[in-house]
Chains A and B, each alone.
Chain A
Amino acid sequence: MASASYKDLSLNGLWKNNPAIVQLLGLCPLLAVTGSVVNALGLAAATTLVLLCSNTAVSIIRNIVSDAVRLPVFVMIIAAAVTCTELIMQAFAYELYQILGIFLPLITTNCVILGRADAFASKNSLAPAMYDGLMMGLGFGVILVLLGALRELAGTGALFADMDLLFGSMAADWKLVLIEDYQAFLLAILPPGAFIFTGLLIAGKNLIDAQIKRRQDAHKAEPVVGSKRVRVTGTIS
């Protein structure tokens, strides 16, 4: 585990072991705030920041803390990181803070964060732990934003509405109306829409994975053709 390369870490966080659509962790905020891109982006940024901070802190203290009190200490670290993030957001993105509301403090309960702290950061040195936090956060964030975009588009026919909440007044006219006179599709914005679109995203990922696997299998099968002797005992690796 200690030798996990950065490439593996990125691949794991963003695709193979994506916290949102493979591990299915943190579904509560995922489903609740993805009604629009701006909400999703706000929560994604906050979650990534918390994940980065908690992984860093956990990795630093990993040799001091005994196994018995490991989890309470991690929880304290995560709670502190979340509270600080909340305060900072309140100070510098007040309107977004109001929109995210309860889901900001609820980042504490996002299993991704405790999961990564316990499964990775507590066993690895600082740099990989930080990188893992960043990648897991990005993986979660990408899905959040993707889901937000899909639902906003399907629900309102536009994209990037109200981006000025996050980026200040220069983003006020970022809103893209892709379909004029769109009859709002309510289901996409309401909670059931979140489940449906999450399901579609998972299905899409599985489809791509299956495609890749088939291509790899086809690739692997070729060199075997020439050789008649195939090793059938022991582990093949």
Chain B
Amino acid sequence: MLGQSITRNSLLLALFAVVTTLLIAGTYLLTKDTIAQERRKAEEKALLEIVPARLHDNNMLDDTLVAKAGKTGLGLREDKTIYVARQAGQAHAVILPVIAPDGYSGDIELIVGVKRDGRVAGVRVLNHRETPGLGDKVDLAKSDWVLSFNGRSLTEPSVEQWAVKKDHGVFDQFTGATITPRAVVAATRRALEYAQTHHDYLFGSSTKPDSATTNDKAEPASNSGPGAL
């Protein structure tokens, strides 16, 4: 009697496990392509904000390099994707993934566009948990503060002045929030330094701009997890 009921119940459970799994698998298969499309669209939107369509003629989502995790200055904990914007085959800007580990509440995920000449093409905050109303002004939706990086480079202002005004730098801090902008300024500076030291890797050899581009596609863009948005 007991054995019978155990058998019956386990069979029942197994049956439900199979049915619900099938259901999920079916929905997954049906929505898979749409989701991939949406994800790409969202990624592309962020990239196009930094390097508008008229400034490049390649598909940045497919033209990528790898940013290694570890002590590269980008602060990444896992390998991420660098997107390359080209015009007539020549890399003219790269979009680097950067993490500012020293935000007010946890990591701030950024993408920083760096032009060939070492100037900032644009900075966008992708993901953060900063205090609403104070630190979240680094988000372009809340304030256009991040636009103040546009056109800056490591020589302009000088490296010592890559800081918020409170630390004798040139960038504004926000009323009531210094830690967040400080973290973003430092992360942007580190991204520029990375671009400077890895200039050949990112932009191809400076003397022969076209020769090095063939092996740039070392990795497909598939490793762009949710963090890349």
> Is there an interface contact between B20 and A77, defined as CB atoms closer than 8 Å?
yes
How many residues on chain B are close to A (CB under 8 Å)?
26
> Is there an interface contact between A80 and B31, defined as CB atoms closer than 8 Å?
no
Pick the residue among A68, A76, A95, A184 that contacts B20 (CB under 8 A): A76
Pick the residue among A79, A91, A184 that contacts B35 (CB under 8 A): A91
Residue A232 at the chain B interface, CB threshold 8 Å: no
> Is there an interface contact between A189 and B132, defined as CB atoms closer than 8 Å?
yes
How far apart are the CA atoms of A205 and B12 in the complex, in Å?
Answer: 43
Nearest chain-A residue to B42 (Cβ)? A94
Q: In residues 1-41 of chain B, which contact A (Cβ within 8 Å)?
A: 5, 8-9, 12-13, 16-17, 20-21, 23-24, 27-28, 31, 34-35, 38-39, 41
> Is there an interface contact between A69 and B229, defined as CB atoms closer than 8 Å?
no
Residues 47-89 of chain A, each 1 if its beta carbon lies under 8 Å from chain B, else 0: 0000000000000000011101100110011011001100110
**Which residues of chain A have C-beta atoms less than 8 A from B21's C-beta?**
80
> Is there an interface contact between A65 and B12, defined as CB atoms closer than 8 Å?
yes
> Is there an interface contact between B13 and A73, defined as CB atoms closer than 8 Å?
yes
> Is there an interface contact between A95 and B23, defined as CB atoms closer than 8 Å?
no
> Is there an interface contact between A190 and B23, defined as CB atoms closer than 8 Å?
no
Residue B134 at the chain A interface, CB threshold 8 Å: yes
Known contacts A72-B13, A73-B16, A98-B229, A87 near B38 by CB under 8 Å: no
A99 to chain B, nearest CB (A): 11
How far apart are the CA atoms of A52 and B39 in the complex, in Å?
Answer: 28
A143 to chain B, nearest CB (A): 22
Pick the residue among B35, B131, B134 that contacts A87 (CB under 8 A): B35
Residue B225 at the chain A interface, CB threshold 8 Å: no
> Is there an interface contact between A66 and B35, defined as CB atoms closer than 8 Å?
no
How far apart are the CA atoms of A85 and B185 in the complex, in Å?
Answer: 39
How far apart are the CA atoms of A79 and B20 in the complex, in Å?
Answer: 9
Known contacts A35-B132, A76-B20, A94-B42, A87 near B28 by CB under 8 Å: yes
Residue A90 at the chain B interface, CB threshold 8 Å: yes
**Which residues of chain A have C-beta atoms less than 8 A from B12's C-beta?**
64-66, 69, 73
> Is there an interface contact between A189 and B133, defined as CB atoms closer than 8 Å?
yes
Pick the residue among A68, A84, A98, A186 that contacts B24 (CB under 8 A): A84
**Which residues of chain A have C-beta atoms less than 8 A from B41's C-beta?**
94
How far apart are the CA atoms of A184 and B5 in the complex, in Å?
Answer: 62
How far apart are the CA atoms of A49 and B229 in the complex, in Å?
Answer: 27
> Is there an interface contact between B24 and A91, defined as CB atoms closer than 8 Å?
no
Known contacts A88-B31, A184-B133, A189-B132, A68 near B38 by CB under 8 Å: no
> Is there an interface contact between A90 and B31, defined as CB atoms closer than 8 Å?
yes
> Is there an interface contact between B34 and A92, defined as CB atoms closer than 8 Å?
yes
How far apart are the CA atoms of A184 and B143 in the complex, in Å?
Answer: 14
4 closest A-B pairs by CB:
A80-B20, A94-B38, A91-B34, A91-B31
